[in-house]
Structure 1
């Protein structure tokens, strides 16, 4: 695995078990002594379902927090069908995490059910998992006692403010923003949301994770769609995004935006995006086929009509090489210690980073050579399959690298050589 600077290292177990969370114990704890960008909470809120008004922001801090559509992100469509869930989202340039709970109540006014979501907005994705335990406890308190008040939430918010501490604001959003050549690039989704999501991703998709990997590397628009739990869909976005991790930079393109949960209010925004990875529970997206290149429902990857014209079905096709890669990954996963809580995620990220680094280095060296030639033998030498040549050519085109790719012996996707 290529060496990384300290700022680019994945968040490990010790970062999560000692999360610098001053109020998670109980209110009244002191502010972190070494305050960092990852400690900041930009906003905190409670969203409720009103039988007359629908989703409503019941309370928020600060009062000046004005993000249109927050109530529909924090209480995702379909939440009413489950008793508890959580959702990750992106709103107004901030990352959000909201924990939801529903209980049965003997109230005609509430039509027999009370629903609440309690969440935070942060400038850094790293921080979100640090707040999840607190939010899960607080939403339970809020839904069980609607007259409880919000003093504890307010104290939590205040304890996560810089209060004069000096820190340099960053922009960790996974966007298409340009990066400086030579700068190490790692996906900004490295905070273990949720534990076990890598296992679920591998179990559900099998060798198709390499189809999703290729799509993400080629900067396509990937939309997961399904029913709640929404947290499971968010975990798939997170796991899929990790497959693009690399410490190599071959162009000025940044990470593919990880948008997590999106809804109908995001349609105009999605229309402007050239690449993204997101999830939704709203079936209207199935009819908006110009918004995505592939729609992922369950373990099925459907290519849109526009993307078919680009030959994207070839990219999605699971090859024998993918089956071999999956067997290799599963073997490595099976050899992990049963006591290791974070090992699988680190192994998963390392597996794809090693593969991506080697591929990027090969493309760069091919582009820099006098002939610009990329051969199947060269792909084999870095541990890839010779018939990954078409994908490698497409990847070079994405990054504007002048590469002359060797033609495969048989380009038919139905042929046994694939």
Structure 2
């Protein structure tokens, strides 16, 4: 059996590295387009307003990202997405149409709207940094357009023309969003971080609202910035995914689970976090270990996870270039907050994928058991 002291691995301190992805001084994203999308019973999702006009910037397809599949059942949501080489943020508002004609947009003006009204207001920008700073503004705008009988787009026009930027998001806001991410995923955040460090193709699934999973894509991308953040994925993106070697995305369309050729791991987040993969090595790597549960008891920050990736890469490069010992020891594992038994298979896979020469791993003195051992999933690393 493994000594309990082996699980007492200290988390890296945020101060161990000066490399921090998010600071209050980061510049605001430059808004390059604004738009309003609505639902029309005859034509489906349509762009009712955009600036610049479509003659100067094509936004075809944005209407399906701004109102994701399943949004007709919720009252509000937000979504991050990709449009060509730009990032998008859209905030959605939905309300039932009343039976009283009071002159507002929510009264019965058009019976063809199936008893509801949906508006989604968004921006396009070339930078993902601090795009959250527009979230509150766009949520407010969406509620305004939802209740207007005749739309006035002056607020959005001013945002684009005059570049009236919101106040930069303080780092504490990201800490709060990251805390929500931790709460949503619990101990599953550790196998998720292992997958992202391996550069796998990862697809989250949940029914609407999709906003929390967009945040999950955002934070997992920060852990390994070489992984392409696709954010919301729709069935129209299927051919594009065939060419992606490494990505992180989310969807509200469960049919993607059947498309096993376009992902390495499908993570069902609808009711509880469940990892699905056909890869036998990844099936072991995504298991939650006792060490993972112990790590969850400690203080976790975004920069802690960033530092783990930085330290792992640095340590392996040092060992690879060393003239003496090139073997990963128990102390090496502990220095990067990994466990000699539980993370052995992950590290072997990391070394293989990243083509790190010469480094070997010292054999542990005992057998590794997953948290819930059974005859089919116990692994012997001796």
Report what 1:29 is aligned to: none
Structure 2 Cα separation of the partners of residues 109 and 85 of structure 1: 23
Structure 2 Cα separation of the partners of residues 228 and 194 of structure 1: 23
Structure 2 Cα separation of the partners of residues 390 and 381 of structure 1: 17
Report what 2:295 is aligned to: 325
The number of aligned residues is: 339
CA contact (8 A) 2:319 2:327 kept: yes
- Normalised to the residue count of structure 2, the TM-score between the two structures is 0.81
- CA gap of 1:349–1:317, structure 2 versus 1, over 3 A, is same
Verify: 1:280 aligned to 2:251, yes or no: yes
CA contact (8 A) 1:45 1:60 kept: yes
Relative contact order higher in (CA < 8 Å, ≥ 6 apart): 2
- CA gap of 1:256–1:375, structure 2 versus 1, over 3 A, is same
Structure 1 Cα separation of the partners of residues 174 and 72 of structure 2: 21
CA contact (8 A) 2:368 2:380 kept: no
- CA gap of 1:318–1:81, structure 2 versus 1, over 3 A, is same
Report what 2:103 is aligned to: none
CA contact (8 A) 1:376 1:389 kept: no
CA contact (8 A) 1:94 1:122 kept: yes
Report what 2:236 is aligned to: 265
Verify: 1:121 aligned to 2:124, yes or no: yes
Question: What is the CA-CA distance between 1:127 and the residue it aligns to?
Answer: 4.0
Report what 1:145 is aligned to: 148
* Per-residue Cα deviation, 1:140-178 (whole angstroms, up to 9, x for no partner): 12111141232222122101299xxxxxxxxxxxxxxxx
Structure 1 Cα separation of the partners of residues 161 and 145 of structure 2: 19
- Normalised to the residue count of structure 1, the TM-score between the two structures is 0.74
The worse-fitting range, judged by mean Cα deviation, of 229-238 and 77-86 is 229-238
Question: What is the CA-CA distance between 1:72 and the residue it aligns to?
Answer: 0.3
- CA gap of 1:228–1:157, structure 2 versus 1, over 3 A, is same
Structure 1 Cα separation of the partners of residues 77 and 60 of structure 2: 22
Verify: 1:61 aligned to 2:51, yes or no: yes
Q: Which runs of 5+ in 1 are unaligned?
A: 16-35, 163-189, 246-253, 333-346
- CA gap of 1:79–1:127, structure 2 versus 1, over 3 A, is same
Question: What is the CA-CA distance between 1:195 and the residue it aligns to?
Answer: 7.4
Report what 1:380 is aligned to: 334
CA contact (8 A) 1:87 1:97 kept: yes
Partner SS state of residue 186, structure 2 = helix
Indicate which of 19, 22, 33 corresponds to 1:10: 22
Report what 1:394 is aligned to: 349
Structure 2 Cα separation of the partners of residues 71 and 374 of structure 1: 51
Structure 2 Cα separation of the partners of residues 218 and 138 of structure 1: 40
CA contact (8 A) 1:127 1:191 kept: no
